Amino acid sequence: MNTPPRRAKRSFASAAPLLLLASASVASAAQTLSIGDMHSSYNRNIWWMSVAVIVMAILIFIGVSYALFYTVNKFREDKHTAEPDQFHGNNRLEQLLIGVPVIIVTIITILAARTMAIVNPTPADALHVNVTGAQFWWAFEYPDTPVTGGTVNVTNGNELVIPAGRQVAVTVTAKDVIHAFWAPNLGGQRDAIPGSKKTFQIDTDQPGVYQGNCTVLCGASHANMRFKVVALPKAQYDAFIAGAQAYKAPAPANSSEQNGYNIFMQGKASAAAAPCASCHRIQGTPAAGAVGPDLSYFGSRNTLGAGIWEGKAREAHIQPWIKNCPSVKPGCLMPVYEKLSDTDLADLEAYLLSLKLPESAAYWGKVPVR
C-alpha cells in the first residue's frame, strides 16, 4: 500500500505557539511528525499541563503590563512636575513581590510533579518491547513472547506492532552510537545509548499507523533512520503475535525462489557474494544472523531501508538495495553485491517477498495511516 503525502493536521493544539516551537516538522515522504497531533494519553497529559502554564503566563503578562502602564501614566512628567515622594522599605509590597512568585512556582511544581506521576510509572499490565537502535535501523523485540520451539523471542525490524488501548513499556538501548527513539504522536522521546537501558511508555487508543524517527545525529543516514508504529485492535494484535510466534518461513515454491534461497543461505562465491544469512535472521531457516534487521516476514512488511520507501516504491528499491546499499542509503553498512547478475538479484527479491505471515497475522492495510 502506497500512502499519499499528507499534510499535518491543523488542530487547535498545534496552533499554540509553545507547542509549535517544540514540535519538529521532520519531513517524511508520507507522514508529518508533530506532538500537536495527539494520539496518546502521554501527549494529552503534557498538553493540559502546558495549557495550565500558558494560562498562568498570560495572566502574569496582563498583570505586569497593567502595572507598568498604570505607573507610567499616573506619574507622567507633564502631570507631576514636582519630584514624587521618595520612600524606603514597604513591608506589604515586599511580601507581595516575594509571595506571589512563590505561589506561582509552587503551583507549577505541583502540576509538573502530578503530570510526571501520571505518565512515568510502568503499569503492571503493560506490554514490554525492547528497542535497539543501530546504524541505521531499529530492532523491536517482544521479550514475553518466545518463538514456538525455539529460544528466541518475536522480533521485527523497523515496524513496531503494538496493541491499541494498552500501555507499551519501551526499553530503549543502542548497539553502536547514540540514537533516540521518538514516535511523537504516541509519547515522549528517549535517547538510545549503548550499555544503557531506559524504559518509558507509549500508548494510543486509536488504531493506526504512526511515524517515528531517530532524533539524535548518529551518522550519514540519521535522517533515514525511521520506523513505523502500527497500533492494532487487540484481537488483530494477538493474531500478529500468535502468527509471528508460530512463523516458519515457507519452502521456496519455484526455481527462482530456490536460487534466491541458496544465495541467501550460502552466498555465491563466483560473484564474491557473502551469505545474507551471516547477518540476517529468517525464522524457520538456518539463517540466524543478528547483525542486520530480522527478515523473517519481509514479504508482509511495507517499508524498506528503515522506512525510506513504502509500498510500490519499496519494491522498486529492493534490487538496487541488495546490489549497492550505500549508493541508495548513505552510510549503509551492508556489503555491496555488485557482481550478482540481474537474475540473481530478481531471485533474491522473489525469495524475500515470498516470506509472508498468514493473512490473519499480517498487519498492513488493516488500520488507517494517521
Positions that interact with ligand CUA (CB under 6 A): 133, 136, 179, 214, 216-218, 222, 225
Cell numbers representing residue 222 in the block: 540519521
CA 232 – CA 252 distance, rounded (Å): 30
Q: Please state the closest distance from residue 292 (CB atom) to ligand CUA, in A.
A: 15
- Looking at the Cβ atoms of 165 and 219, the one nearer to ligand CUA is 219
CA 281 – CA 289 distance, rounded (Å): 5
Rg (alpha carbons) of the chain, rounded to whole number = 27
Q: Please state the closest distance from residue 179 (CB atom) to ligand CUA, in A.
A: 3
- Looking at the Cβ atoms of 133 and 187, the one nearer to ligand CUA is 133
- Looking at the Cβ atoms of 202 and 216, the one nearer to ligand CUA is 216
- Looking at the Cβ atoms of 218 and 367, the one nearer to ligand CUA is 218
Cell numbers representing residue 7 in the block: 499534510
Q: Please state the closest distance from residue 228 (CB atom) to ligand CUA, in A.
A: 16
**Are 129 and 169 in contact, with CB atoms under 8 Å apart?**
yes
**Are 218 and 135 in contact, with CB atoms under 8 Å apart?**
yes
Q: Please state the closest distance from residue 69 (CB atom) to ligand CUA, in A.
A: 49
Q: Please state the closest distance from residue 121 (CB atom) to ligand CUA, in A.
A: 28
- Looking at the Cβ atoms of 194 and 208, the one nearer to ligand CUA is 194
Q: Please state the closest distance from residue 196 (CB atom) to ligand CUA, in A.
A: 15
Residue 255: CB atoms within 10 A of its CB come to 10
Q: Please state the closest distance from residue 33 (CB atom) to ligand CUA, in A.
A: 13
Q: Please state the closest distance from residue 183 (CB atom) to ligand CUA, in A.
A: 14
Query: Three-state DSSP class for 273?
Result: strand
- Looking at the Cβ atoms of 190 and 222, the one nearer to ligand CUA is 222
Q: Please state the closest distance from residue 146 (CB atom) to ligand CUA, in A.
A: 29
CA 66 – CA 264 distance, rounded (Å): 74
Q: Which long-range contacts (CB under 8 A, 24 or more apart) does 334-341 make?
A: 334/279, 334/292, 335/274, 337/271, 337/273, 339/271, 339/272, 339/273, 340/263, 340/268, 340/271, 340/273, 341/271
Alpha-carbon distances, residue 288 vs 54, 80, 177 (angstroms): 53, 88, 23
- Looking at the Cβ atoms of 260 and 307, the one nearer to ligand CUA is 307
Q: Within the chain, where are the H helices?
A: 12-15, 17-22, 41-74, 91-119, 234-246, 255-266, 311-323, 325-328, 342-353
In the block, cell 515522504 appears at: 29
- Looking at the Cβ atoms of 212 and 260, the one nearer to ligand CUA is 212
- Looking at the Cβ atoms of 33 and 216, the one nearer to ligand CUA is 216
- Looking at the Cβ atoms of 225 and 287, the one nearer to ligand CUA is 225
Q: Please state the closest distance from residue 173 (CB atom) to ligand CUA, in A.
A: 13
Query: Three-state DSSP class for 201?
Result: strand
CA 351 – CA 261 distance, rounded (Å): 6
Cell numbers representing residue 357 in the block: 505471515
